[in-house]
Amino acid sequence: MASSFNDLPDPFSSHGELAGDAARQAVASIRGIVYQIWWSIDAWLRLTSPDEVIFLEGAEDLDRIASGGAIAGQVKHEAESLSLNNQRSHEALENFWRLSLRESTRRVDYHYITTASAALERDAQFGGVAGLEAWRIAQTDAEMAAQIQAYLTLKLALTSGLRAFLASATSEQVQERLIRRVHWYLNQPGLDAVKQSVDDRLVVRLNQANVSLSYVAAVRDRLHAFACDVLVRPESASRRLGLADLLREIDAATTEHVPIPALQYQQFQRALQAGVFDPGDALLRVMRLPLPPAPAPLLNRTSLIEHVRLRMAERKAVLLTGTIYKGKTTIAQLVANALCPDAWWFPVASRSGVDTDNLLRAIAAGIADESAPSLVVVDNIDLSPSAHAAYGQALALLVSRATRAGRGLLLTARGESGETAQLSDFAGIEAIDVPELSVEEVQQHCLSNGCPEDMSQAWAAFIRSATGGHPKLVQVRIAELGTKGWPAPTPADITLTSPAIATAKQVARRMLSETVSPKTAAFVYTAAEATFPLTRPMLLGLTRAVGDIDNGGDVIDSLQGKWLEQALVGRLSVTPMLKGSAAEVWPLERRQLAHSHIYDAIAGVKSLDVADAAALLFHAYIAHDASRLAHCARILETIGEETISAAVFQQLVWLPYVSLSEGQRFFEPQPFVSAMLRQLQFSVANQIDSESLPTILARWTDEVGQIPEQEPRAALEVMRCSKLLINRNPRVPLRSKLAAIGTLSKLKGEAADVAEDYGRRFIAQSYGALDGIPASATSAQFYLSLQAPSVRSLKDLAEVLDWLELDSDAEERQAFEAVLHWPLVNSCGAFVHGAWSSRHSSETEWAPTIALLSRADAIARRFGLVQFGSEVAKATSIVQGEHLHDHAAAMQTLADAASTFGETPTIREQRVNALFQVNDDVGALAVWDSLISEPEAAKAIDAFAFRRAGICAWRRVRWRARCLRASFQHHRIASRPPAGHAR
């Protein structure tokens, strides 16, 4: 007995498909046929004369015949690119050539219409362009035509009639008979775009015929059925589409036939003639509902409601716009209850375009009646372009009549923002977009729903952060907290999603998945991960990356208002109802891929906003993608103009707090990328003056050391050291800068050579500006000299001592010792004097200073740092003599230093100063004479030393003058004659 479906178990245990062979499945060829049919319908709708006719599957897929000639068209839905070195193009050319030979009495052109793109031939020289682009040029360029002729002659089969023609014809003949008659239409739109073109042409035709646009779908389906029927007719002459066929099919599709019993039809006719039956009034009575109650807990947005109420009181037409669950209906309910409790309320969410058109016309007819209330509400009306085409005229009529009748008209948009709503045709209508709730509004709602006042501010901040201020999410979270008795907020309330919010978002995701394709939903979930609103070019890039969505702009338009909202001018973001959806629907790897797509979409736009540049790093970091992280770090580090760079870094305030624990890597898989990110982290922390700057510097140093390859490690070490040397942030330890100089001087390789060359050029440019730099100065010495002004406190001096004692080697200490003789360094305190001189006028406790100088003296003695030891002795002597007033100790310090370091000019100069301070001018001048008798020593004496010596000399001269005057006076008295004697 043969089996049948009745033999199968009921219900089926499984609905799985049979195991098929993918190689035998004809999906691509079927798609090509469907694509051809819709192209045929689109061409059919373009017919304007009865003298034009289209034949399907004649000489080619689509033959358009007119009195002036004919066009044979191949229509292809292809993914693989096309070139002149392609079998498909050769077959097309051969087909055209054979057709042209058969049609010798009339001109035939050939159109190759395809979704494929042009490919560049590897073995041709068409001036660097693809052969099919060269073909277009060759239509007016004989030289290019000759090149194509030569190329194709070698490519076509030996038996080809076209090849024989090419081998014997002139280039002008090839142009006229082949190149100018064959046209390649590449990169044509896909199936959905062609169908949309059909719809658009139908809209225009029906509008011109004053037929309701609600018939577009019916006409389209009828034309498609007719074209499919024509396509399979056996006789080629009957496979034709003409203008008369088109008009007949449109008329049939737009003519309604209503079956009515004869008796009722007669009654209907009599009622209409007598004016007794009013179908419009009957429709209003059926559709009108009482005002619905407001939801609980109620978010009573007083200022917004008052704004709408005032417009309604002025009898203006108002449209409330906003994305899904924004609370538009609730606002309308509250306004209606406040102004007119008996207002007409018409919900149209589930109505077709025809039903809505009829209802709007009925409202327009009755709104001027004395029985009509002062306010009419139409809730959830679709104002997208397609809906506007269906009932836009009826809505315009309603707005006009409501205004003339002095009635208020309040509309709430079905997930349409003010940007996409078609309002240009409606005079007197005002769009009011429902915004997110502010922190202050959230706090007020918390208080209104039982939140204790002392916790209201904290809860408001938490709720606003978790919901983005979206009214629906705020509402459900407040209700949830109310049922729990408003507990005190905890850190978990920041990091975890509440069940109520999760449920509301789940409902939104379900609504999305039921209304859009899986590819579109994936696009929305990806866009929802963006940290900053995206521009339209960015969103278009995202549509291509996420699901290779055809007609991405149309998809964006369809989502705007319901799922995408205008967050900033020219920028859209996904509604907070879907923010974070990726974490609920995708595994970690897929979410990382989403962030990679967002990164590419942002980076693909030539002009970036400050926040865009900052967002790049976040998305690259979350994507965990090494190449994008490195690319982003380079972009951010090389941004020009200090003000722009600062603005970008201010958007990255999160970065200085990432991966700061000892041993923690910024990006473990790639040490080089990890070090680059540390560099960027340091730049941001420096710009925002973060307290974590020293910790970041330590981690940065560790990261560079982890790079295994010598040359890349050296390159990033050069960058690290260079950034430290030019840094002026006081949070960067001086010890780190000094260590960086030593590191830089020892690096080898190309990067180190570049750094050394830069240092040399810097020194050469500085000779005029900075006197006293020796010709033999090294770059390390020069960089050391530039750090001298940084010693402004005991902490700075302690860092210098730490570097000398713990970090430096003999070569670095020798370079340090050498620069202490430079006038530039001396004028800045020689790494010693700035530590105490900046506070000498206010300091009262000098013990820490003496202790630190004592440590410096020990280090100088230990490493034989003569000049440094002399400067330390000088500083110690000054503090002892001038601030502690212990002249003996000051002189002993100098004597001890001289015994170790010798009678250096610095020690002798300070001895002059110490003697000067106690007015020992004779001793001071004796030391001074010894000092200036040595030319080399005299060169290093500062101006104050000369001043002190001058004062000593002046005081000494005055003292001698006083002695002479005293001696003269004594002599005069002794030589006077006795009284009474003449002189």
Question: For 415-458, what is each residue's pLDDT tens digit?
Answer: 644 444 555 555 568 888 888 888 898 999 899 889 999 999 88
Residue 506 identity (one-letter amino acid) = Q
pLDDT band for position 123 (cuts 50, 70, 90): confident
Cα separation, 303 vs 463, whole angstroms: 20
Please, what is the Cα angle at 252 between 246 and 257, to 5 degrees?
170
Cα separation, 582 vs 912, whole angstroms: 79
Cα separation, 731 vs 166, whole angstroms: 79
Question: pLDDT digit string (tens) for 295-329?
Answer: 666 777 888 888 888 888 777 788 888 888 888 88
Highest mean pLDDT among 349-358, 461-470, 625-634: 461-470
* Look-up of token digits 């100790």: 889
Cα separation, 449 vs 484, whole angstroms: 12
pLDDT band for position 523 (cuts 50, 70, 90): very high
DSSP 374-400: SEEEEEEE--SHHHHHHHHHHHHHHHH
Question: pLDDT digit string (tens) for 473-483?
Answer: 998 899 899 98
- Given this model, what pLDDT does residue 178 score? 94
Do 290 and 403 contact (CB within 8 A), yes or no?
no
Burial of 658 (0-12, 13-18, 19+ CB in 10 A): middle
* Look-up of token digits 């082949």: 178
Residues of the chain with CATH 3.40.50.300: 280-431
pLDDT band for position 655 (cuts 50, 70, 90): confident
CA distances from 351 to 181, 213, 287, 710 (A): 52, 15, 11, 71
Least confidently predicted of 13-22, 296-305, 502-511, 569-578 = 13-22
Least confidently predicted of 41-55, 92-106, 259-273, 306-320 = 259-273
Residue 549 identity (one-letter amino acid) = I
User: When comparing pLDDT for 976 and 788, which is higher?
Assistant: 788
Q: What percent of the chain has pLDDT over 70?
A: 85
Q: State the CB neighbour count (10 A cutoff) for residue 913.
A: 22
Could you say which DSSP state residue 878 is in? H
- Given this model, what pLDDT does residue 14 score? 47
DSSP 229-240: HHHT-SSGGG-E
DSSP H helices in 688-778: 693-705, 710-725, 734-746, 750-766
Cα separation, 392 vs 385, whole angstroms: 9
Residue 624 pLDDT > 90: no
Question: pLDDT digit string (tens) for 729-780?
Answer: 888 889 988 998 888 888 777 766 776 776 667 666 655 545 567 777 888 8
Question: pLDDT digit string (tens) for 795-808?
Answer: 999 999 999 999 99
pLDDT band for position 630 (cuts 50, 70, 90): confident
Please, what is the Cα angle at 780 between 898 and 908, to 5 degrees?
15
In CATH terms, 280-431 corresponds, of 3.40.50.300, 3.40.5.90, 3.40.50.150, 3.10.20.90, to: 3.40.50.300
Tell me what the mean pLDDT of segment 704-726 comes to: 83
Residues of the chain with CATH 1.25.40: 838-969
Residue 687 pLDDT > 90: no
b/e burial code for range 106-139 (CB count within 10 A of at least 16 → b): eebbbbbbbbbebbebeebebeebbbbbbbebbe
Least confidently predicted of 6-20, 276-290, 345-359, 787-801 = 6-20
Residue 41 pLDDT > 90: yes
The residue length of the chain stands at 983
Q: Which of 418, 348, 408 is nearest to 382 (CA)?
A: 348
Do 717 and 704 contact (CB within 8 A), yes or no?
yes
Residue 837 pLDDT > 70: yes
Residue 842 pLDDT > 60: yes
Tell me what the mean pLDDT of segment 609-630 comes to: 81
- Given this model, what pLDDT does residue 978 score? 47
SS3 per-residue string spanning 500-562: HHHHHHHHHHHHHHHHCCHHHHHHHHHHCCCCCCEEHHHHHHHHHHHHCCCCHHHHHHHHECC
Q: State the CB neighbour count (10 A cutoff) for residue 37.
A: 22
Could you say which DSSP state residue 289 is in? B
- Given this model, what pLDDT does residue 661 score? 86
CA distances from 672 to 49, 686, 703, 744 (A): 70, 21, 8, 18
- Given this model, what pLDDT does residue 329 score? 87
Cα separation, 895 vs 902, whole angstroms: 9
Cα separation, 928 vs 921, whole angstroms: 10
pLDDT band for position 910 (cuts 50, 70, 90): confident
Tell me what the mean pLDDT of segment 72-95 comes to: 91
- What is the DSSP pairing of strand 240-242 with strand 317-321? unpaired
Do 328 and 321 contact (CB within 8 A), yes or no?
yes
Question: pLDDT digit string (tens) for 330-362?
Answer: 888 888 888 888 888 888 877 777 778 888 888
Cα separation, 322 vs 142, whole angstroms: 60
Element (H, E) at 708: none
Q: Which of 27, 26, 60, 28 is nearest to 43 (CA)?
A: 60
- Given this model, what pLDDT does residue 302 score? 82
Cα separation, 134 vs 33, whole angstroms: 30
- Given this model, what pLDDT does residue 103 score? 87
- Given this model, what pLDDT does residue 426 score? 56
- Given this model, what pLDDT does residue 12 score? 40
Do 620 and 629 contact (CB within 8 A), yes or no?
yes
Residue 258 pLDDT > 80: no
Cα separation, 909 vs 944, whole angstroms: 10
Residue 276 pLDDT > 70: no
Element (H, E) at 75: strand 69-76
Mean per-residue pLDDT of the chain = 81
Cα separation, 565 vs 551, whole angstroms: 20
pLDDT band for position 226 (cuts 50, 70, 90): very high
Cα separation, 573 vs 564, whole angstroms: 6
Tell me what the mean pLDDT of segment 894-914 comes to: 87
Residue 553 pLDDT > 70: yes
At residue 381, what are phi and psi to the nearest 5 degrees? Answer: -90, 140
Tell me what the mean pLDDT of segment 564-583 comes to: 86
Residue 667 pLDDT > 70: yes
pLDDT band for position 8 (cuts 50, 70, 90): very low
Residue 540 pLDDT > 80: yes
User: When comparing pLDDT for 233 and 772, which is higher?
Assistant: 233
- Give the rounded distance of the alpha carbon of 964 from its chain centre: 89
Both tokens of 73, joined, read 């068209």
- What would be the CATH architecture of the domain defined by 838-969? Alpha Horseshoe (1.25)
- Given this model, what pLDDT does residue 225 score? 92
Q: What percent of the chain has pLDDT over 90?
A: 21
Cα separation, 389 vs 422, whole angstroms: 10
DSSP 6-40: GGS-SS-S--PPP---GGG--HHHHHHHHHHHHHH
Helix (H/G/I), strand (E/B), else coil: 462: helix
Helix (H/G/I), strand (E/B), else coil: 679: helix
Least confidently predicted of 348-362, 371-385, 578-592 = 348-362
User: When comparing pLDDT for 745 and 204, which is higher?
Assistant: 204
CA distances from 929 to 317, 897, 924, 951 (A): 101, 21, 9, 14
